[in-house]
Structure 1
Amino acid sequence: MQNWSQLFATRADRMVASEIRELLKVLDQPEMISFAGGIPDPALFPAEEFKAAYQELFEQDDHQAALQYSVSEGYKPLRKWISGRMALQGIACSEDNILITSGAQQALDYLGKLFLSAGDTALVGWPTYLGALQAFNAYEPAYQRLDAHGNRSVKDYQAKAKSSGGTVKFAYASTDFANPTGQTLTLHERKGILDLAEQLDIAVIEDAPYQCLRFEGKALPSLLELDIARSGDIEATRTIYCGSFSKTLSPGLRLGWVCAATPVIHQMVLIKQAADLNSSTINQMVMTKVAESCFDEHVEKICVVYKERRDHMIAALASHMPEGVTWSRPEGGMFIWVELPENMDAAAILKTSLEVANVAFVPGHAFFADRSGRNCMRLNFTSCGPDKIETGISRLGRLLADLISSGSVT
C-alpha cells in the first residue's frame, strides 16, 4: 500500500480539520441543538429574489454568458456595485480595486499565499477566526499576538519574527463583531493597529464579513477607511479589506471580495488565474441582481431577527449559567464568547454535552494559534429560534452546574 504521507509536502503537517466542519457530521440527530456553526438562518435567505434572478437571467438573449468562463477579476457590474457600497463607508475606490473571490475564505487563502513564506510571522488576535488560521497554516508561518494598544515594541516583534526564521508580514484583524468573541475593536484599537503596521512596514488584512450585522451602537470607520484618511488615496494604503455576501444574502453562492490598492489586486488576480480561473459567472450575475434589488432591505430584516435571538441567548445565559461562567455581549454579528472557570476544559465538556445534553458548541482552543483558551467556548445565536435557544442553554447550564458541583473539571 502506498505510504502517501512520505510524499506530502511539509505544509500538509500544518493542515488540520476544522472543529466546526467535524462537528457538522454529528448534528443530524433531530434532538440535537447546535450553537456550533457560524451559520445564518436559511429560512431568512431571500430565496424568491434569487429564484426570480436566475429565471430572468435565462430569459435574456445573452444568457449563454452566464454559463461561460469569465474574467478572473470578477463580473464587472458586481464589482461596480461593491465599489459603490465601499464608497458609502468612506472608501473611495473603483471596480479596479475589487477582486471577486469564492467566499472571503478564498481571499484569506490567497493572501496567505501572497505574503507568507515558511517561517514568516502573521500577527493575529488571541483568539482569532479559526478559518484564517487554517488558511494561513498551509504556508507555514509563525504567529504572534497582535497588540493594538502599543504595549510591545517594534523591536520585540521583529526579534521574535527573526528567531522564527522570517519577518513580520501582516496583521490580521476582524474589526466588527469578530469571530469568535463578538468583539468590536474600538477606534483607539483600530488606530493602534495602523500605527503598528506603519512602524513595522507590513500589510493589514481587515476581515469584515459581519460589518453589516450591527444591531445597536454607533458604527466605527473601517481600517481601510482610516487608512485612506491617513494616506489620501486607496492606492497609498496598506490595508486589504475582505468582504462577503455569505452572512447577509447567501453563503451557498460562495461570493466574497477583496478591496485594496491595485498592485495587490493585480497580484491576487494571478493567483486566482492559477487556482480556479474565475468565480462562478452565473452566481456573480445573479448576486448582482439580488444585491441591487434588496440588499439594504434584507439586511435590515435579518438584523431585527438576529438581535432578538442574541437577546434571548444573553437572557438564557443569565438565567441558566452557574456562578463562575461569564460571556460577551456583542452589539451585532453572530457569536457569543463564553468563559468557564479556568480549570474546565471545553473540549472535554463538548463530548459529554453531545452525549448527554444534545447541545453542540465550538471549544475555544480552536481559535488560538497556540491552542490555549481551553476553558472557553463559542456559541452561535443566529441559526436557532428563541425556543431552541432557551432549551439548549438550559441544558448546557445544567450540565456545567453538575460538573462544577461534582468537582469534575473536564
Structure 2
Amino acid sequence: MTSQPIDWAERFSERMNRVRASEIRELLKLLDQPDILSFAGGIPDPGLFPAERIQADYAAILADPALAAQALQYSVSEGYLPLRAWIAERMTRDGMPCEPTNIMLTAGSQQALDLIGKLFIGPGDTVVVARPTYLGALQAFNGYQPAYRDLPEGALRGEPTDLPRGALGYFVPDFANPTGVSLTLEQRQALLEMANALDMTLIEDAAYRELRFEGEATPTLLALDIAQSGGVDNARTLFLGTLSKTLSPALRIGWVCGPKTVIEKLVLLKQGADLHVSTINQMVAHRAVSEGYDQHLHRLRGAYGHKGRVMLAALERSMPEGVTWSHPEGGMFVWIDLPEGMEGATLLARAIEEERVAFVPGAPFFAEVPSANAIRLSYSLPTDAQIEEGVGRLARLIRRVTAEA
C-alpha cells in the first residue's frame, strides 16, 4: 500500500501564519557575492572582535580540569553567577541598581524577546512599538499573535493617546535599529509617564547603548523608572542587554534585567526552551569582560564613530535633493527617507542589478502602518572606501530613478 504524501502546511499551528522569513537574513546571503557592496546587515566588524583574548580564555578554562568539568557541564538556567554579578555591578554604575537575582542570561537578547513574548503576549493582546521598529522584535512577537499599535507621534510630547490599558510596549531608546535615532530625556520621561498612566509593561532594548561615539549619555528608561518607583523590583521596565554588539555575536550572551517576580517566570520558560546558555561561553565571556572591557569599548566607539562620520559625509556630498537621513550619535545605522513615491524594495532590486549595492528596504520595519519610501544603511562592516563608493553608486541610481519618474 502506497502512503499518501503529507500536507504539512495543514498541520502547522495557526500562529505560523504570522511567521515570515527575515528580509535582512535573506539579504545577508548577498555577502557571499564579492562584487556586492553591502550596507544590509547590522553585523559587527570582525576585525574588532577580541579573538586572541577569547581564544586564550577558552584555552585557560579547558586546561584546568576543575574549570573544564564545570564549563562542559549543564548549568543553572539563570546563568553563570559571576557574569550576572558583573552585569549587575555595571548596570548599577549606569544608574540601574540591581542584584544578580534581577538578571537572567539568554542566548542573545533575541531569545529574551521571544521569552518575553511567550510570557506576556496572548492572541489579540496589544503590543505598542515605534514607527519604524526593530524587525527582529516583530519576528519574535509575531508567533504569539499580538495586535500591533504604532506609538502615536504626540505620545513622546506628552499628548493623550487612545492606546489601551495594560499593553506591552517595546522600544529601543539608544541608537535604534533601524533609524539610529535616540530618544531625548524629555521623550523618555514622556514615554514613562504614558506607561504609568496606561499601566503598560515596557521593554527597553539596549543592544546599542554601549556604542555611543558622540554626545552625552542619557539615563535609561529603567533608570528613570527605578528613580520613580523606588527600586528595580517595583519597576515596570524590563531591560535587555547583550554582548553581541561589543564582544562577539557567536558567544550568544544577552540578558534580561527586571523585577525578581518576572525573572522567576522567565527562568521557567528558559528551562523549557534550552535549559541554559552554553556554560563555557558564559565563563569565557566573564573572563573577557572582567579586564580591559572599557578600553575595548573605547576602541569600538572610535572605529564605528569614524565609519559613521564617513557615511554621513558621503551622503551629504552625493545625495540629490529630496533625500534626507538620520544623524546617529552611536550604533550602526542610518535611516534614509527617499523622495515621495520611490519605494525602497523596488529601488533595492535595481540597486543590486544595476549598481551592485545592497541595503534593507524600510517597509518591513513597520508594524501597523508601513512606509515604503525608506531604506536602512549599515556602516558597521564596509571599509571607508566601500562606504564612499557604495553611497556614490546609490546616489547615482536615485538620480536616475528620479529622472525617469
TM, length-normalised to structure 2: 0.96
Q: CA deviation at 1:88?
A: 0.9
Aligned residue number for residue 352 of structure 1: 350
Correspondence 1:17-28 to 2 at 5 A: 17-28=21-32
Establish whether residue 131 from structure 1 lines up as the match of residue 130 from structure 2.
no
Instruction: Pick one of 388, 396, 399 that aligns with 1:398.
Output: 396
Establish whether residue 157 from structure 1 lines up as the match of residue 157 from structure 2.
no
Establish whether residue 113 from structure 1 lines up as the match of residue 121 from structure 2.
no
Q: CA deviation at 1:29?
A: 1.1
Aligned residue number for residue 325 of structure 2: 327
Aligned residue number for residue 287 of structure 2: 289
Aligned residue number for residue 218 of structure 1: 216
Mapped partners of 2:6, 2:160: distance in 1: 49
Q: CA deviation at 1:171?
A: 1.0
Mapped partners of 2:175, 2:44: distance in 1: 15
Asked whether the equivalents of residues 166 and 201 of structure 2 are also in contact (C-alpha less than 8 Å), the reply is no
Mapped partners of 1:378, 1:33: distance in 2: 14
Mapped partners of 2:172, 2:33: distance in 1: 33
Q: CA deviation at 1:148?
A: 2.4
Correspondence 1:250-399 to 2 at 5 A: 250-370=248-368, 372-399=370-397
Mapped partners of 1:25, 1:334: distance in 2: 19
Q: Percent identity?
A: 51
Q: CA deviation at 1:226?
A: 0.4
Asked whether the equivalents of residues 150 and 369 of structure 2 are also in contact (C-alpha less than 8 Å), the reply is no
- Counterpart amino acid of residue 59 in structure 1: A
Q: CA deviation at 1:169?
A: 2.5
Cα deviation code 1:245-280 (max 9, x no counterpart): 011010111110011010010000000000000010
Aligned residue number for residue 231 of structure 1: 229
- Counterpart amino acid of residue 44 in structure 1: L
Cα deviation code 1:101-126 (max 9, x no counterpart): 00000000111111001000001001
Mapped partners of 2:31, 2:213: distance in 1: 29
Mapped partners of 1:214, 1:176: distance in 2: 8
Aligned residue number for residue 249 of structure 1: 247
Cα deviation code 1:326-383 (max 9, x no counterpart): 0010011100000001100010110111111111100000100136111000000111
Instruction: Pick one of 181, 184, 195 that aligns with 2:182.
Output: 184
Cα deviation code 1:176-203 (max 9, x no counterpart): 0000011110111111111111111121
User: How many residues in Structure 1 have an aligned counterpart in Structure 2?
Assistant: 397
Tell me the C-alpha RMSD between the 2 structures.
1.0
Establish whether residue 13 from structure 1 lines up as the match of residue 21 from structure 2.
no
Cα deviation code 1:287-319 (max 9, x no counterpart): 000011221111100110111100110111111
Q: CA deviation at 1:168?
A: 4.0
SS state of the match for residue 123, structure 1? strand
Cα deviation code 1:201-238 (max 9, x no counterpart): 12110000100101111101000000110011111111
Mapped partners of 2:38, 2:166: distance in 1: 38
SS state of the match for residue 139, structure 1? coil
Mapped partners of 2:52, 2:132: distance in 1: 38
Which 5+ residue runs of structure 2 have no aligned equivalent?
none
Cα deviation code 1:84-140 (max 9, x no counterpart): 110110111110001000000000011111100100000100100000011111100
Aligned residue number for residue 162 of structure 1: none
Mapped partners of 1:371, 1:33: distance in 2: 30
Aligned residue number for residue 84 of structure 2: 79
Cα deviation code 1:15-58 (max 9, x no counterpart): 01111001112221111111000111001100011011001101
Q: CA deviation at 1:406?
A: 1.6
- Counterpart amino acid of residue 322 in structure 1: P
Aligned residue number for residue 32 of structure 1: 36
Mapped partners of 2:30, 2:160: distance in 1: 43
- Counterpart amino acid of residue 149 in structure 1: R
TM, length-normalised to structure 1: 0.95
- Counterpart amino acid of residue 14 in structure 1: R
Asked whether the equivalents of residues 170 and 197 of structure 1 are also in contact (C-alpha less than 8 Å), the reply is no
- Counterpart amino acid of residue 151 in structure 1: E
- Counterpart amino acid of residue 146 in structure 2: P
Mapped partners of 1:49, 1:327: distance in 2: 37
